[in-house]
Structure formats: structure tokens, C-alpha cells
């Protein structure tokens, strides 16, 4: 009975991981043309809110089919940090309720990238949950797979591997993103590709 139950759990885990892996493989980095189009689509909204022209220091940008996710920091055209005391966010900044970063999900429609989700200045990982709201893979957001890690970890074979190789999965699951600096923890969650450092 226990052996049969273990096999059932094992196959369930394999199926979930296979589906997750398939979605993750479909997530990719944009080419130069796509990258510019995505950032230009976001730039209009950010410049309107801040009342000034901006470039972006991109921490992460990814494409999944007709969807894109971008996370980074708005900067002045000269590459300097924006003075938010001169923006609509001055009160939030004064109250400690503003962090200097932006994240957004955009969808390509008629060769234009349209903002679907957007947050500027969040003090938590604002995009954690967008995958469920929009039916998108967590890999698009650089987040670890939303699988039943507790059930997997309880599996003897996986538990042995964790103990033997020091898997970081349990530590990731115990981490609480909202207790840390939002941009720093967002960088921490990014696991599939290196961050882009150039200004665009």
C-alpha cells in the first residue's frame, strides 16, 4: 500500500515538474527589436507618471509567446537616479512607502506592446501572483515553480537528494520576500537568466 502510494505521488510530482519545465523552456530573452519595443511600450507610462524622460536599468526582461515581463529601475537619460521628491511619489517616499523600481507585464497586440499589469515604486514583490491572475508560467517572472514543494520534500528519495546535495528549494520556500528590500529580493528570485545591466 505504501509502495503504491509512493509511486502515485512520484508520478504526480514528475507530471507537475514536466509541465513546469515545458513552460519554462518556452520563456526566452527578447531579441534587440523586441526588447526596444517592450521598453518603449513601458516608457510612455513611466514618463507620464514621473513628468520626465527616462531610460531603464533592466534587471530582467523575458518573453513568453505574446507576453513580456520587465523589471528594472527608471533613470534619467544621463543615467542618474531620479529625484522622486519632484514627482507625484514624494509623499510615499517621505513615508517610506516607495522603492525605486518598476515592473510590468505587457502583451503584444497589432505589433504594439500594451501594458496589462504595472507597478512603480512597490515595497514588496508586486508581481508575485500575476502568473495566477494571467495564467502565465512563473518562469516568465523569474520565480521558482509553484509546485507542492512540501509534498515533494517529504518524498524519501527527494529528501535524500536535498540532504546530500544541499538543494536550495526548501530555503527558497521559507524565504519571505516581503520582509526584505523589494528590488533586492526580486533579483534573488531571478534564477533562469543573468540580469541585464545596460541602460536603454
Domain count of the chain?
Answer: 1
Cβ-based neighbours of 181, under 8 Å, separated by 6 or more:
99
What are the Cα distances from residue 92, in Å, to 24, 84, 115, 120? 36, 9, 23, 11
> What CATH code is carried by the domain that includes residue 43?
3.10.450.630
In a domain, 198, yes or no: no
Cell numbers at residue 182, please? 523589494
Q: CB count, 10 Å around CB of 157?
A: 11
Question: Domain of 76?
Answer: 2-189
pLDDT tens per residue, the chain (200 residues)?
Answer: 444 444 444 444 444 444 455 556 689 999 999 999 999 999 999 999 999 999 999 999 999 999 999 999 999 999 999 999 999 999 999 899 999 999 999 999 998 999 999 999 999 889 989 999 999 998 999 887 765 444 444 555 555 554 554 444 444 444 444 444 555 555 554 543 333 344 45
In a domain, 121, yes or no: yes
Amino acid at each position: 500500500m505504501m509502495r503504491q502510494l509512493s509511486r502515485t505521488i512520484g508520478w504526480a510530482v514528475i507530471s507537475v515538474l514536466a509541465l513546469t519545465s515545458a513552460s519554462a523552456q518556452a520563456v526566452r530573452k527578447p531579441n534587440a527589436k523586441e526588447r526596444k519595443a517592450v521598453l518603449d511600450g513601458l516608457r510612455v507610462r513611466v514618463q507620464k507618471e514621473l513628468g520626465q524622460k527616462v531610460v531603464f536599468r533592466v534587471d530582467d526582461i523575458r518573453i513568453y509567446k505574446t507576453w513580456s515581463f520587465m523589471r528594472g529601475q527608471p533613470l534619467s537619460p544621463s543615467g542618474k537616479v531620479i529625484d522622486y521628491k519632484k514627482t507625484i511619489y514624494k509623499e510615499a517616499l517621505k513615508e517610506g512607502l516607495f522603492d525605486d523600481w518598476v515592473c510590468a507585464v505587457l502583451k503584444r497586440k497589432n505589433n504594439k506592446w500594451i501594458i496589462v499589469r504595472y507597478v512603480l515604486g512597490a515595497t514588496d514583490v508586486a508581481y508575485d501572483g500575476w502568473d495566477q491572475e494571467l495564467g502565465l508560467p512563473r518562469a516568465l517572472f523569474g520565480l521558482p515553480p509553484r509546485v507542492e514543494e512540501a509534498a515533494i520534500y517529504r518524498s524519501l528519495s527527494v529528501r535524500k537528494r536535498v540532504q546530500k546535495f544541499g538543494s536550495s528549494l526548501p530555503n527558497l520556500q521559507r524565504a519571505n520576500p516581503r520582509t526584505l528590500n523589494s528590488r533586492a529580493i526580486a533579483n534573488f528570485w531571478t534564477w533562469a537568466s543573468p540580469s541585464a545591466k545596460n541602460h536603454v
